[in-house]
Amino acid sequence: MNDNLSIVSEEKTYLLDLSAHGRIRATGDDRARLIHALSTNHIQQLQPGQGAYAFFLTAQGRILADAHILCFAGSLLLDLEPETRELILKHIDHYIIADDVTLEDETDRTFCFGIEGAAAQAFLEHLSIPVAHARESHLAWEDMTIAAISATGAGGFRLYGPMARKGEIWQRLLLAGALQSELHALRLNFFQPRYGEDITEKTLAQETSLPNALHFQKGCYLGQEIVERIRSRTHVNRMLAGLRFTSQPAPGPGTKVLAGDAEIGKITSSQGQNAIALLRIEQIKPGTELTANGHQALTHPIAT
């Protein structure tokens, strides 16, 4: 296993076991209306085969969770970070009053694999696995679903299927040449934020540098007032940015980041020479020279 990647080859395909992620399926006639009213993206306009990335917010505009939401003919599937699975299940259930919505936690009955890297599409096509091209869209393959979702920012797909087939499919992908890897190391090569590390319940939506999670014409939703106020009247003071250290391993989370002698943020996650940090917005321009623990780093854009 290679869990300390410093260089990711464009010729390789990387295989991640994301089965610990939460998978909640919502059914019932009011499912799209309810999830639309609780999340930051336009869920009601989704058609079967499409999907969206979104945040769930508090009334104060802070992020409870992020989710990839896939639309099927009779349901919505929410793919959540492991830390937020139970929280969002309870959060959505709290708002089901007279709505025709049923929630089912499918996590323990299903698997989820990430197939990542610039070569991932060619790798899947070589195996005669169909690929969807639009971001967050998905297709059926055998009794599984393949979605155009990257967990790392490298470009890639997620494969969802019944737990009974997990071992068989994992071995098939490895034998075809995929390299088993770990999410933490791979995502930091491309500066892909993750909820629970870089994004927390204290984070505002616009601090994430992930504008694809927000839809500004969708109408009212929980936390919208704060998001709209930031967009129209003011701005956030901090945003996530990548840091690549020039010679030393990146310091750990919580390390102060300096511009000259001034503290302008802190590292939120790191691996090898790469890190993600929450920085003052005037310091996030790509190529800005900063330091942490006396070591020099250059800023990089967050993967969106």
- CA nearest to 288, candidates 260, 255, 253: 260
Q: Is residue 97 part of a domain?
A: yes
Q: Is residue 168 part of a domain?
A: yes
- CATH number of the domain that residue 134 is part of: 3.30.1360.120
Q: Is residue 126 part of a domain?
A: yes
Q: 299 is written with which tokens? A: 């800023």
Count of domains forming the chain: 2
- Statement: the pTM of the whole predicted model exceeds 0.85: yes
Q: Is residue 30 part of a domain?
A: yes
Q: Are residues 80 and 149 in the same domain?
A: yes
pLDDT (tens digit, 9 = 90+) per residue, 242-252?
999 998 899 99
Q: Is residue 204 part of a domain?
A: no
Choose the final residue of a domain: 189, 223, 248. 189
Q: Are residues 126 and 251 in the same domain?
A: no
Q: Is residue 222 part of a domain?
A: no
Q: Are residues 142 and 279 in the same domain?
A: no
Q: Are residues 39 and 176 in the same domain?
A: yes
Q: Are residues 243 and 182 in the same domain?
A: no
Q: Are residues 96 and 180 in the same domain?
A: yes
pLDDT (tens digit, 9 = 90+) per residue, 163-191?
999 999 999 999 999 999 999 989 999 99
Distance CA(251)–CA(276), nearest Å, equals 11
Q: Is residue 56 part of a domain?
A: yes
Q: Is residue 197 part of a domain?
A: no
Q: Are residues 251 and 174 in the same domain?
A: no
Q: Are residues 56 and 176 in the same domain?
A: yes
Q: How confident is the model at residue 8, as a pLDDT?
A: 59
Distance CA(290)–CA(264), nearest Å, equals 9
Given a cut of 90, whether residue 83 has pLDDT beyond it is yes
Percent of the chain clearing pLDDT 70 (strictly above): 97
Q: Are residues 111 and 185 in the same domain?
A: yes
- CATH number of the domain that residue 304 is part of: 2.40.30.110
Choose the final residue of a domain: 125, 160, 189. 189
pLDDT (tens digit, 9 = 90+) per residue, 97-136?
999 999 999 999 999 999 999 999 999 999 999 999 899 9
Is residue 254 a contact partner of residue 278, using CB atoms and an 8 Å limit? Answer: no
| Alpha helix stretches (DSSP H) within 40-182 | 85-94, 120-126, 166-175
Domain, as residue range, for 35: 14-189
Q: Are residues 185 and 242 in the same domain?
A: no
pLDDT (tens digit, 9 = 90+) per residue, 130-153?
999 899 999 999 999 999 999 999
Q: Are residues 182 and 242 in the same domain?
A: no
**Collapsed DSSP state (helix, strand, coil) of residue 156:** strand
Q: Are residues 50 and 140 in the same domain?
A: yes
